[in-house]
Amino acid sequence: MSATYELSHLRALESEGVHIIREVAAEFERPVLLFSGGKDSIVMLHLAVKAFTPARVPFPVMHVDTGHNFDEVVAFRDRMVAEVGARLVVASVQDDIDDGRSVEDTGPRASRNRLQTTTLLRAIDEQRFDAVFGGARRDEEKARAKERVFSFRDDFGQWDPKNQRPELWSLYNGRHRQGEHIRVFPLSNWTELDIWQYIAAEDIELPSIYFAHPRRVFQRDGMWMADSPLIDRLEGEEVEERQVRFRTVGDVTCTGAVESPAATLEQVIAEVAATRLTERGATRADDRISEAGMEDRKREGYF
């Protein structure tokens, strides 16, 4: 603290995030926090813990599980949720496939990414969640740049980008009818670099796959995909061992790694600050569907 009463940008972002999370806890009956084990959801859970200290986080944490996980991430998820003393809800994409609500793609490029929407909406419906925290950031993608902090979803979980509620000051309007819900994005104003700087400042633990490690990978569409029994390789895709790290953590089948020597937080921050590719552009096959890939999925109810 200084006599000039200035707040660093990280503290200002933290304060905004905490305010948003407390606002939801105060106004909603059944909030839930989406947690993938990725860095953004880890930071979001960290903010939730800080918001209610010394009390516990007053809502459960939910993982929408494609079943195609990195083992390190699932182990990390279970440990972290236990540490903060929150209840973990796992909504399984496999259950929806087994019950015929979702139909799985086939072929070497098959991914369960899009199927997560069905599972997420079913879980929201079944558990009657009225506010759903997501770790999405506006800097990630251009459809997300237009998203509100409190983002209204209709009975079908759909987002209507042309008909969003005006959002002024920090006066959030979470009013809704039964069956509708609000997606809440406490990290809206954070950039990838802010997230990493905050992780360093707060000494937050991350799954090991964010740091450089040797891994058996193969190249597809300019990305390094993990060699995994969950992905069928195309002809000519040769597996080799490389020093890689992941910039985002999603489903094994659609998350690519980048070649990197960055094994420590400081090295990762230096790399992020100098990189010339967005994290989604570099490593997310799911965003390469079309120019409006994210917009379309968001309209359907995706994260």
Partner 1 sequence: MAEMLRLATAGSVDDGKSTLIGRLLYDSKAIFEDQLEAVERTSRERGDEYTNLALLTDGLRAEREQGITIDVAYRYFATPKRKFIIADTPGHTQYTRNMVTGASTADLAIILIDARKGVLEQSRRHAFLATLLGIPHLVLCVNKMDLVDWSEERFEEIKAEFRAFAMKLDVHDLTFIPVSALKGDNVVDRSANMPWYEGGALLHHLEEVHIASDRNLIDARFPVQYVIRPQNQTDHATHDYRGYAGQVAGGVFKPGDEVVVLPSGFTSTIASIDTADGPVEEAFAPMSVTLRLADEIDVSRGDMIARRRNQPHVGQDIEAMVCWLSESTWLREGAKLAIKHTTRWSRALVKDLQYQLDINTLHRYEDAVGLALNEIGRVTLRTTQPLFYDEYRRNRATGSFILVDEASHTTVGAGMILAPLGE
Instruction: Tell me how far, at minimum, the Cβ of 185 lies from partner 1, in Å.
Output: 11
Alpha carbons 96 and 118: distance in angstroms, whole number = 8
Nearer to partner 1, 90 or 282 (CB): 282
Alpha carbons 136 and 101: distance in angstroms, whole number = 26
Say whether residue 130 binds partner 1 (CB under 8 A): no
| 54 cis-preceded (ω within 30 degrees of 0) | yes
Neighbours of 289 (CB within 10 A): 13
- The pair of structure tokens assigned to 42 is 């880890």
Q: Please count the residues of the chain.
A: 303
Say whether residue 233 binds partner 1 (CB under 8 A): no
Say whether residue 212 binds partner 1 (CB under 8 A): no
Instruction: Tell me how far, at minimum, the Cβ of 65 lies from partner 1, in Å.
Output: 29
Q: Among 25, 74, 84, 269, which residue sits at the site for partner 1 (rule: CB under 8 A)?
A: 25
Q: Tell me which DSSP letter residue 213 carries.
A: E
Say whether residue 221 binds partner 1 (CB under 8 A): no
Query: Of 48-107, which residues contact partner 1 (CB under 8 A)?
Result: 49-56
Beta strands in the chain (DSSP E): 31-34, 61-65, 88-92, 131-133, 150-153, 181-184, 213-220, 223-226, 240-246, 256-259
Say whether residue 234 binds partner 1 (CB under 8 A): no
Instruction: Tell me how far, at minimum, the Cβ of 27 lies from partner 1, in Å.
Output: 8
Q: Among 65, 96, 130, 139, which residue sits at the site for partner 1 (rule: CB under 8 A)?
A: 139
Instruction: Tell me how far, at minimum, the Cβ of 67 lies from partner 1, in Å.
Output: 29
Alpha carbons 247 and 268: distance in angstroms, whole number = 9
Instruction: Tell me how far, at minimum, the Cβ of 176 lies from partner 1, in Å.
Output: 6
Question: Which residue in 141, 194, 88 sits closest to 302, CA to CA?
Answer: 141
Say whether residue 264 binds partner 1 (CB under 8 A): no
Nearer to partner 1, 25 or 75 (CB): 25
- The pair of structure tokens assigned to 114 is 């899009």
Residues in CB range of 196: below 8 A, 6 or more apart: 39, 265, 268, 269, 272
Instruction: Tell me how far, at minimum, the Cβ of 275 lies from partner 1, in Å.
Output: 7
Q: Among 194, 227, 251, 286, which residue sits at the site for partner 1 (rule: CB under 8 A)?
A: 194
Alpha carbons 80 and 82: distance in angstroms, whole number = 5
Interface residue list for partner 1 (CB under 8 A) = 1, 4-9, 11-16, 18-19, 22-23, 25-26, 49-56, 138-139, 142-146, 161-162, 164-171, 173, 175-177, 188-189, 191, 193-194, 275-278, 281-282, 291-292, 295
